[in-house]
Amino acid sequence: MNDRKSKSPFGDLGVSVAIQNLNLKYQQKLVLRDLNWTINRGENWILGGISGTGKTSLAKIIAGQQSALGDIKVSFAINSILPPEILFVESWYQFKNLEGVANFYYQQRYTSQQAKDTLTVHAELVNYGKEKGLHFDQIEPILEALNFSSFASSQLIELSSGEHKKLQLVKALWLKPQLLIIDQPYTGLDASSRKNLNILLDEVSAQGVQLILICNDTELPNSINHFAEIKDGQLIEVDSLELATDTQKHEREIPDFLKESPVYSSQSIVKMVDVNISYGEKQVLKNINWEVKAGEKWLLQGHNGSGKSTLLSLINGDHPQSYANELYLFGNRRGSGESIWDIKQHIGLISPEFHWYFDATSTVWQSIASGFYDTVGLFQQLPYSKSAQVDELVEYFGLTASKNELLSTLPLGKQRLVLLARTIIKNPELLILDEPCQGLDQQQTQHFNQLIDELCGNGMTLIYVGHFESQLPTCIEKRILLEKGEVKVVENILESV
C-alpha cells in the first residue's frame, strides 16, 4: 500500500490541473481517448507504464507545447512566491550553437574546433538566470548535489547524455516553477546523482513545487503521493507497487545469422597503453591501461564525467587524439593506415549520443539496414541476402507494423529498439552498448538483455555501460571502473561475487 504523505505542507499554495475529454490522434492512430485527469493542489504524481502509450505527449500538452482536442484548466497559486509556470524537462536536451543551429554531427563533440561553436555550461546558466530573473548564488548547492560544479568551463557539445540531463535538472531546480514535469528524470544519472536528485526534488516540493515524473523507477522522492498510467488512451490511477509493464512474453527465435560466431580478425580487440586525453588544461583520461580480448564481456562503469564516453570514442575510432596514444584496435596500432570506416566495420555501437545525431528522417527498415554500412541513413540498394536479414530483425523485434514509418514518428522506446536492431545487423566482433536501455521500460530492458546474453553466448565481445546493477546482462564477466579519468578497479565479476 502507498504509505507516502498525501499532501505537501504547501498544498494550499499549489497548482490544480483539470483535464477533461482529451483526445490526441497521431498518424491516424488515437493515442489519447477521452482522457480525464484531475491534479489537486499538493499532489505529486508518477506517470508510468509501457513505452508508446502517450505519456510524453500528455506532458507536452499540459505544458502547452503540443495541441490536442479537449479541455485543460490550470489554476496557479496566486499567493505563491514561485513563478506561475509549468516547466517540462524533456528526456533529451536539444542545444544550439552560437548561431542558433542544432544540427551537429556525432564526431563533432570530440574535435578541437567545437569550443568556438557552443556556449560553456557557465555561460548557458548565466543566460538562463538573466532570462528568468534568478540569483546565481542560489545555484551552487544544486550544482554540488548533482556533482556538476566542475563542468562550468565545459562546452555544451562536450557533455555526455548524463551531463546534459544534469544541466536540464539544474535549471529546473533553480527556477522552481509551480508545476515541474520531468520526462525520465534518472536517465543517464549514476547512483549517487539519482539519490541526490530525489533529495532535491523533495526539497523543492516542500517549498511548493508540484511534481509530475514520467518514469518506471522504484527509488522515488518521498514527496510522491500518486501513481498513474495510460492504458487504452485513458489515465488510470494505480497503486505504487503495481505500475504496469508489458507482460507479453517475447517468444520469437533469434535469427539464424546471429547464432553464428563473429569472424575475429585478432584475439586482441582493444589494447590501451598509458593512454592520456586532454582538452586544453583539462585531463579527461589519465594513464589508461586496459586490454579486451576476443569473446570477453566487460562492464564499464563510473560516475557521470568519469571519462567513459571519451574512452569509448577512442575504441570506436571517433576521437582524433587516438593517434597521439599507444592504442591497438583489432590487432593494429591506431594510425597505421586504417580509416575510421575500417575500424567501424568490426563494431556495433549504440549510445544516447549516437541516437541524438541519428537521421530521424529514415524509415525503420532503412535505419536498421544502414547498420551494414555504418551510415546514419541508407544510401544504396541492399542485395537480397541483406534485405532478408533486415526483414528477420524487423520481425524479431516486433516492428513489422512500423517498418515503413519514419524513425522520428515512433515513441522513444521503439526508436531505441530500431537502433538496437541496427547495431547487431552485421553480427560484429565487438558490441559497444552505452546505456542501451535508456528510454525502455522494464520488460523491454529485460528482453534486450536476454537477447545480449544469447548473442554473446556465441562468442561476441561485449563492452556494456550501465549504472543499474539490476538491469545488466548475466553474461558479463569482467568490470572496469573509472574515477576522474583513471582506472580505479579492474576485476573479474564472477570471482568477486
pLDDT digits 0-9 by tens, 219-250? 899 999 999 999 999 999 998 655 444 444 55
Question: Residues of 186-208 as b/e, b for ≥16 C-beta within 10 angstroms?
Answer: bbbbbeebbebbbebbbbbbeeb
Query: Which comes out higher in pLDDT, residue 302 or 354?
Result: 302
**Amino acid 276: pLDDT:** 94
Query: Which comes out higher in pLDDT, residue 423 or 158?
Result: 423
| pLDDT at 116 > cutoff 80 | no
| pLDDT at 99 > cutoff 60 | no
Under CATH, which number does the domain 256-496 receive?
Answer: 3.40.50.300
What residue ranges do the domains of the chain occupy? 11-242, 256-496
Q: Classify domain 11-242 at the CATH class level.
A: alpha beta
Is residue 464 within 8 Å of residue 473, measured between CB atoms?
yes
In sequence order, what are the residues at sequence separation of 6 or more whose Cβ sits closer than 8 angstroms to the Cβ of residue 268?
Answer: 291, 292, 293, 294, 328, 330, 331
Tens-digit pLDDT profile for residues 188-216: 787 888 899 999 999 999 999 999 999 88
> Which pTM was predicted?
0.77
3-state secondary structure of 234: strand
> What is the pairing mode between strands 268-279 and 282-293?
antiparallel
Is residue 161 within 8 Å of residue 174, measured between CB atoms?
no
Tens-digit pLDDT profile for residues 431-461: 999 888 876 667 777 877 887 888 787 889 9
Alpha-carbon dihedral 36, 38, 39, 43, rounded to 10 degrees: -110
Taking the C-alpha atoms of residue 197 and residue 304, their distance in angstroms, rounded to an integer, is 14
Tens-digit pLDDT profile for residues 17-69: 999 999 998 877 889 999 999 999 999 999 988 777 899 999 999 999 999 99
| pLDDT at 171 > cutoff 90 | yes
Cell of 336: 597505421
Mean pLDDT of 307-327: 87
| pLDDT at 3 > cutoff 60 | no
Mean pLDDT of 129-156: 91
Question: Residue ranges of the alpha helices (H) in 278-357?
Answer: 308-315, 340-344, 352-357
Q: In whole angstroms, how far apart are CA 441 and each of 244, 247, 355, 446? A: 10, 11, 17, 9
In sequence order, what are the residues at sequence separation of 6 or more whose Cβ sits closer than 8 angstroms to the Cβ of residue 363?
Answer: 403, 404, 405, 406, 407
Give the torsion sign (CA, 359, 363, 366, 368): positive
| 11-242 matches 256-496 in fold | yes
In sequence order, what are the residues at sequence separation of 6 or more whose Cβ sits closer than 8 angstroms to the Cβ of residue 245?
Answer: 49, 50, 216, 441, 442, 443
DSSP 122-182: HHHHHHHHHHHT--GGGTHHHHHHTT-GGGTTSBGGG--HHHHHHHHHHHHHHH--SEEEE
In 3-state terms the chain splits into helix, strand, coil percentages (rounded to 5) of 35, 25, 40
Q: In whole angstroms, how far apart are CA 364 and each of 33, 258, 427? A: 26, 20, 19
**Amino acid 331: pLDDT:** 92
Within 10 angstroms of residue 2's Cβ, the number of other Cβ atoms is 13
**Amino acid 381: pLDDT:** 82
